[in-house]
Amino acid sequence: MPENKRILSVAYLRDLGESRQALLRAAGYHVTTVDSVREAVLQLKKAGFDLVIVGHAVHRRDDQLVVEAAESAGNVPTLLLYQSHPHLSGQQHFNVEDGSDEFLRVVAQMCKDKPGK
């Protein structure tokens, strides 16, 4: 059970962000959704998250900024939806269209594996 697991969701497309938030909340996660890299970086500086999910519409240079901010905030695992940076070690790339069950399995595994949790 994902009790007390906090997820930061970065979604440039409002509908997709709301759908992802609803799915994750229904699964028991605490979710904060932002629609910009600037807001994601600010959230990472002030709150402790167990996972960051970056939506597929986020530009490559922007998702790199989120990854760097997550690393600076205590090596928060980052799930990049759709492949954008295959060379990033320790990052997962996921096509959310593979199905919500698989998506939730990957999210649960990434939250569980966070060092210190």
E strands, 1-117, in order? 6-10, 30-34, 51-54, 78-81, 92-94
Task: Let me know the angle formed at the C-alpha of 53 by 49 and 54, rounded to the nearest 5 degrees.
Answer: 130
Q: What is the pTM of this model?
A: 0.81
Q: What pLDDT does residue 61 have?
A: 78
- List the domains of the chain with CATH numbers: 6-112 (3.40.50.2300)
Q: What is the pLDDT of residues 10-53, one digit of tens each?
A: 988 888 888 889 889 999 999 999 999 999 999 999 878 999 99
Tokens at residue 92, please? 């997962």
Task: Let me know the angle formed at the C-alpha of 88 by 63 and 76, rounded to the nearest 5 degrees.
Answer: 65
Q: What is the pLDDT of residues 71-103, one digit of tens each?
A: 999 889 988 886 444 554 455 555 555 567 888
Tokens at residue 33, please? 């959704």
Q: What pLDDT does residue 91 have?
A: 52
